[in-house]
Amino acid sequence: MIRVLPQSLGRMKLFHNQYGASGPPLVILHGLLGAHGNWHTLSQSAFQQVARVYAVDQRNHGRSPHADQIDYPTLAADLRTFIDRHALAPAHLLGHSMGGKAAMQTALSFPDRVDRLVVVDMAPRAYPPAHTALLDALARIDPRAYDSRDAIDAALADDVPSWPIRQFLLKNLDYDGDTYTWRMNLDAIRAHYDALTAALPMGATFEGPALFVRGGQSDYIADEDLDGIRERFPAADLVTLEDAGHWVHADAPEALADLVTAFVADPTRVP
């Protein structure tokens, strides 16, 4: 059972997996409805060769605690606490999608905790609420009413016909030997979804090295987003992996691994 913590505590202990024992710290943040395991393969095969990798579950996701609030200032405060608790500052940050915005907000709010920043397929702008129907579909499924993962998959298929998307979503299932439940805090995510699609505020900058990687088949970072990126991250470079969609780490893992490991080793080595 996941413990619900009062928001006022501000000391959330995030779950994480560590890979590697040497090199600079690299903290990885997953996207919406994801978890640290989304980055297991790259963390184990490539990233730990150049860094001590900490793949983190953000609040209301994976094995981390639940709380009523979720927005980027709160996610950044959680990450600052994580970095301080593990004495990682300054750490390299890598974030995908929602995790990319959380990483950006952390670099803007706590630049002394961040060495280098990698953002995968996310800009600091506002996005349309593209996942509202998906969140509503998940809310219509009560996993406790089903006796198998396949049955939940079949029920979800009415609203989510894509098999790969369903398999991703079903990674959020918990099973205690008797009952299925959703691992994520779906109520909080739905209640604060507008905050997760909002733009990051202007006014602060992160002057350190920043690498933005976009999928060439994705529309999450458009050419016109580059001005907004560089207003906040003046040293940012943008690299496009042409054959990848939004899930860059799944579509082009080797190319992304090459970019990230080179950047962690030497931030001037950006194509």
> Three-state SS string across the chain, please?
CCCECCHHHCCCCCCEEEECCCCCEEEEECCCCCCHHHHHHHHHHCHHHCCEEEEECCCCCCCCCECCCCCHHHHHHHHHHHHHHCCCCCEEEEEECHHHHHHHHHHHHCHHHEEEEEEECCCCCCCCCCCHHHHHHHHCCCHHHCCCHHHHHHHHCCCCCCHHHHHHHHCCEEECCCCEEECCCHHHHHHCHHHHHCCCCCCCCCCCCEEEEEECCCCCCCHHHHHHHHHHCCCEEEEEECCCCCCHHHHCHHHHHHHHHHHHHCCCCCC
Query: 130-159 as b/e, with b when 16 or more CB fall inside 10 Å?
Result: ebeebeebbeebebeebeeeeebbebbeee
Residues sharing a CB contact under 8 Å with residue 227, sequence separation 6 or more, in sequence order:
none
Predicted pLDDT of residue 266 = 82
Whole-model pTM: value is 0.94
Block means of pLDDT (10 residues each) for the chain, length 271 residues? 41 94 96 97 96 98 96 97 97 98 98 98 97 95 95 95 94 94 97 98 95 98 97 97 96 97 81 57
Tell me how far CA of residue 70 lies from CA of 84, 187, 251, in angstroms: 20, 11, 28
Predicted pLDDT of residue 7 = 42
Predicted pLDDT of residue 5 = 40
* Distance between start and end Cα atoms, the chain: 46
Q: Which active-site residues does the annotation give?
A: 97, 187, 246
Q: What is the pLDDT of residues 149-206, one digit of tens each?
A: 999 999 999 999 999 999 999 999 999 999 999 999 999 999 999 999 999 999 999 9
